[in-house]
Amino acid sequence: MSGKRRAAGPAQTSTTAKKGATAEGSGAKRPRTRKQQVWRVARWLLVVGLVGMLVAVGGFIYAYQTTDLPDPNDEFETQTSFIYYSDGKTEVGSFATQNRQSIPLDQMPQNLQDAVVAAENRSFWTDNGIDPKGIVRAAFSNAQGNSTQGASTITQQYVKILYLTQERSYERKLKEAILSLKLQREMSKSEILEGYLNTIYFGRSAYGVQAAAEAYFGKDAKRLSLRESAVLASVLNNPSNFDPANGKDSKKALKERYTYVLEGMADAGNISAEKAEKAGRKLPKFPEIAAESRYGGQKGHMLAMVRSELHDLGFDDQQIDGGGIRVTTTFTKKAMDAAAAGVREQRPEGPEFSDKNLHVGVASVEPGTGAIRGIYGGQDYLQSQINWAVTGGMVGSTFKPFAVAAALEEGFSLEDTFDGNSPFYYNEEGTGDRVRNEGYGSDGLGTDYGSAISLLRGTEDSINTVFADLTVSMPDGPEKILETAVDLGIPNWNKNARGGYNNLDNSPGLEPVSGIALGSATIAPVNMANAYASIANGGRAARPHVVQKVVDKDGEPLYTFKQSTKQAIDEDVAADTSYAMQQVVQSGSGTAALNLGRPAAGKTGTATNADDDVASAWFVGYTPQLATAVMYVRGKGQEKLDDWLPEYFGGSYPARTWTDVMGRALEGAEIEDFPEPAHLDGEAPDDGHDPYTPPPKPTKKPTKKPSKTPDEPSDTPDEPSDTPTPSDTPTTPPPATPPTCDPLVGCQTPPPSTPTPTPPAATAPASTPPAARRG
């Protein structure tokens, strides 16, 4: 037995003993207090937070190291392309994806730079490109369900514009922060500020400070005052809300923001407090900025012609709209203004003769260069994109000078004679296809002028039958006339070309048929003016063009027009053709052009549609310095002019409009004379066209008493009266001519029909002299 003594009291069981040991023994676990429990949770959260932070930092570092600056967004790399008149300084208009023009920082006033920093990012010059506090603040705000906040520095805004989208998301904000830090290391603060100020949106469709200065104050950015600079810096925050043009509330909101910006400039030491206080008393004056679209009026037609030619030269739309190119055109403001004013002054008045109904196309081309100096395309470009100066219409008798030149090249002379009686039949039997002169004549089929009318008089009075006889008298006459016209600058007819409104490279309906000289083809006024300019230039033709020079945004040349001409017709042929057209002005169907007060040559023309209605009226002419074509058409280009226009011959409204346009365009220019005619007299390829010679008088024998023989023949040739008779028939294309070509619909072959006689000249207004009604 053991020698140990048991304590008094009841014996303890093993279970009881164990319980006591657990409660009071040194190895027992005690219950945790609430404080201990909170601390335990906090430790775990701290560990998780530290791990998460390490992961986030590691992820950010990895993203930073693996992220490269992407290519800039295309639209913010673009620059406005500017189009200038021929002086290279006066602006016609612009092409732009955005209205933006980059300028260097040294052309931005210091006040403007300081104002933008004060308005948008006062720590710009010292921060690292991001604002951590702002990001945290925005994160909490966004987490609470508020609207997504930006908290962006100038660097972050620039990155968002240049590289990212406007999407509001945390992923985009992370990219923005990474790229901002990257950009901060690769660009200086000044470079970042310059880029930002050239891309940020200021409202009024203006991107960048240069466009904004023009949009708000009508001046270059370098000329902005302190007040104006503070306004632009204020507008940046919310362009629509702070634009003073949007009403009193916007102006009031702008004033508050404007004061905030000036105070920020004073706090930064950019300006004195006194200066800030003085400037803050009132906003600067806002001039009225013309709201006219850059495509309004005739500018749209001009710019469309420029774009089309740039395409032909190999420039694509990306270069044109966003390449910042500078294009010097051939247009002169003087010629453009002359065309618009001449049309406005001479066209008939009344709502029925508005630009929507009556279309006037005008084109002026410089002889020797092909430079298109002025155009009038018709209706405001914003109302209609059809430019009638390049669409054109049937040219009528203005095509006849090409037949004159072709005949002179073949050996005929201006004194050679042709059949002036009406009608003229293409076959010897006097049946079938025929051409008639204007007027009724004795048989109701046109005025008779005589069987032997000189080519000179036929041109002067625009006698149709003379030119029909001339055409068939030349071997391959239609082909020769077509070849001459093309050589002088009239495009061939490309039957495979799409229809449309631009006929600068196409002449629908122009075919080598017997009626070619009567002008049923559709030709653009630009091409008619250019072909006449070739005659004025001694027969040397030049390519018509509107683009003279193209340089890039840095002034490096990209294209320069290379001047060249080719001898289309002999110089003497050009001199005699020109002489014939001078007689049209001096005493023929175009005497209205005498009012120009300087030597001029020209030709009237009218043409009829398939219903024998007059559908176009023309006058094309030139001086040695300038050639101009004027065309009047109605509706879609084929609608009736007679009994609608007060006067519908080429010698009326078109000739008077031509005279007005040329007078304005040539004001102050030296008066120049044409070369003397060569009086060519070659060997004509066909007999029976020699100059008319009156028969000699019979010799009288002396007698002692009066003779009982019949009266002696008269010394007067058997020709029509010298009284001018309206000629230059509004030509119904005979069946031998090409199909009628509607410039907006295409070419259609009319059914055979007998021409309806034109009303006699007496039906024209009595106030119009006979000469003005011819053509």
- Taking only the tens place, the pLDDT of each residue in 724-734 is 333 444 544 44
> Which residue bears the tokens 């004679």?
417
CA gap 691, 688 in Å, rounded: 9
DSSP one-letter code for 736: T
SS3 letters for 362-374? Answer: EEEECCCCCEEEE
* pLDDT score for 152: 79
> Which residue bears the tokens 């073949």?
410
> Which residue bears the tokens 């395309």?
377
* pLDDT score for 432: 79
Amino acid residing at 56: A
Q: How far apart, in Å, are the Cα atoms of 366 and each of 228, 504, 624, 657, 658? A: 45, 16, 9, 18, 15
CA gap 154, 126 in Å, rounded: 12
Beta bridge partners of residue 326, listed in sequence order: 82, 551
Outline where 474-524 has alpha helix (H): 477-488
Strands 424-425 and 417-418: unpaired
For the record, the structure tokens of 609 come out as: 């549609």
Determine contact, residues 628/528, Cβ cutoff 8 Å.
Answer: no
760: part of which helix (H) or strand (E)? none
Residue 580's nearest CA partner among 459, 451, 755, 672 is: 459
**How many C-beta neighbours within 10 Å does residue 695 have?**
10
Counting Cα atoms < 13 Å in the Cβ hemisphere of 60 gives: 14
CA gap 276, 265 in Å, rounded: 8
CA gap 238, 236 in Å, rounded: 6
Beta bridge partners of residue 523, listed in sequence order: 393
Written as one string, the DSSP assignment of 462-474 is: T-HHHHHHHHHHS
* pLDDT score for 24: 45
CA gap 543, 534 in Å, rounded: 10
Q: Is the pTM of this model over 0.85?
A: no
Q: What angle do CA 577, 730, 662 make, to 5 degrees?
A: 50
DSSP one-letter code for 219: S
Amino acid residing at 85: Y
Residue 631's nearest CA partner among 613, 654, 614, 651 is: 654
Strands 326-329 and 81-84: parallel
3 state DSSP class of 580: helix
Determine contact, residues 681/406, Cβ cutoff 8 Å.
Answer: no
* pLDDT score for 746: 62
Low-confidence ranges of the chain (pLDDT < 70): 1-30, 32, 47-77, 129-151, 163-178, 180, 290-292, 441-442, 498-499, 694-775
Determine contact, residues 121/127, Cβ cutoff 8 Å.
Answer: yes
CA gap 70, 595 in Å, rounded: 67
**How many C-beta neighbours within 10 Å does residue 701 have?**
6
Residue 478's nearest CA partner among 446, 442, 517 is: 517
- 674, 617, 413, 566: CA torsion to nearest 10: 60
Instruction: Please list, in sequence order, all residues whose beta carbon lies within 8 angstroms of the beta carbon of residue 561, skipping any fewer than 6 positions away.
Output: 545, 547, 548, 549
Counting Cα atoms < 13 Å in the Cβ hemisphere of 706 gives: 4
Determine contact, residues 615/394, Cβ cutoff 8 Å.
Answer: yes
Q: What angle do CA 357, 359, 364 make, to 5 degrees?
A: 165
Residue 172's nearest CA partner among 193, 156, 186 is: 156
For the record, the structure tokens of 162 come out as: 């240049």
CA gap 531, 514 in Å, rounded: 21
CA gap 748, 197 in Å, rounded: 58
Dmax of the chain from CA atoms? 214
Q: How far apart, in Å, are the Cα atoms of 684 and each of 402, 415, 419, 462, 693? A: 17, 11, 16, 21, 17
CA gap 425, 178 in Å, rounded: 88
Exposure string of 225-255, with b = 16+ CB inside 10 Å and e = fewer, is ebbbbbbbbbbbeebeebbbeeeeebbebbb
* pLDDT score for 248: 87
> Which residue bears the tokens 């002067």?
460
> Which residue bears the tokens 């009994």?
643
